[in-house]
Each structure stands twice: as structure tokens, then as C-alpha cells.
């Protein structure tokens, strides 16, 4: 299985359950691995044949930047749904980090995996 990845995509958004968090933007960071068969784009050398990580990044930046979720779990699920439904990603692993959310830690967050890891038969 081939993977396309995006590492440390930082986006400002409203996220959190406390009243003070609802009034400010905080940074979240996304690390994403997405299953994709890269043999076709490798043979054609055409961007149209790829899972375009720039298009994926732009879509997530727009969505997350406008969102107002309380839980990182909810935001992670919504991002995964976008990747699966809009970009046809069969399997993904998404890590959503909230840097500085807990004193003494670099970041906290969730890691989710969705979809089938093996290629379709």
C-alpha cells in the first residue's frame, strides 16, 4: 500500500469546551496518512492522476479555519469524512494535535484510523 502524507499542517480555529476557548482562535496541527495507489501518477507524471496533497490541504484549511467545534474528536471525524467522501480516500490515519492545551505537554489530541487498509480486490 502506498501512502500520501501531510505532516504538521497548522490551522487556526475555534476549538474547545471552555467559555474562554470559544472567544479565541487556537492552533491545531494535523498529520495525515492516506492510502493511494501511486503507480498511475508515477507512470503518467501528471498531477491529475495523483491524490493532490495541495488540494487536500487547502480544503482542510478552509474547513477547519471556519469550524467551531468543542471537541478535537468531533473535528477529527469531520476531517476524515471530508477526505473519504470528497477525495475518495479508502483508508486514512489522522492525528489531530492541540499544542499547548495541557501545561507541561507539547501537545494533546487524538489519532483515528478510518476505512479499509488493503486495496480493493
For residue 101, the model assigns a pLDDT of 87
23-27 average pLDDT score: 95
HEC secondary structure over 52-80 = CHHHHHHHHHHHHHHCEECCHHHHHHHHH
CA distance 16 to 5: 26
Local confidence band at 102 (pLDDT 50, 70, 90 cut-offs): confident
Residue 118 has pLDDT above 80, yes or no: no
List, by residue number, the catalytic residues.
Answer: 98
Instruction: Return the SS3 of 39.
Output: helix
Percent share of the chain, pLDDT over 90: 91
Q: Are residues 45 and 101 in contact, defined by beta-carbon separation less than 8 angstroms?
A: no
Do strands 91-99 and 26-35 pair parallel, antiparallel, or not at all (unpaired)? Answer: antiparallel
DSSP state of 100: T
pLDDT in tens, 27-80: 999 999 999 999 999 999 999 999 999 999 999 999 999 999 999 999 999 999
Show the domains of the chain with their CATH numbers.
Answer: 3-115 (3.30.1130.10)
Amino acid at each position: 500500500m502506498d501512502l500520501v502524507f501531510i505532516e504538521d499542517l497548522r490551522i487556526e480555529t475555534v476549538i474547545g469546551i471552555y467559555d474562554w476557548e470559544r472567544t479565541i482562535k487556537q492552533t491545531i496541527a494535523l498529520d495525515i496518512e492516506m492510502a493511494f495507489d501511486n503507480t498511475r501518477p508515477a507512470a503518467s507524471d501528471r498531477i491529475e492522476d495523483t491524490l493532490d496533497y495541495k488540494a487536500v490541504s487547502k480544503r482542510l484549511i478552509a474547513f477547519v479555519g471556519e469550524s467551531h467545534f468543542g471537541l478535537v474528536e468531533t473535528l477529527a471525524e469531520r476531517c476524515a469524512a471530508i477526505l473519504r467522501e470528497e477525495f475518495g480516500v479508502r483508508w486514512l490515519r489522522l492525528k489531530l494535535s492541540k499544542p499547548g492545551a495541557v501545561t507541561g505537554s507539547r501537545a494533546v489530541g487524538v489519532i483515528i484510523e478510518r476505512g479499509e487498509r488493503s486495496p480493493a480486490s
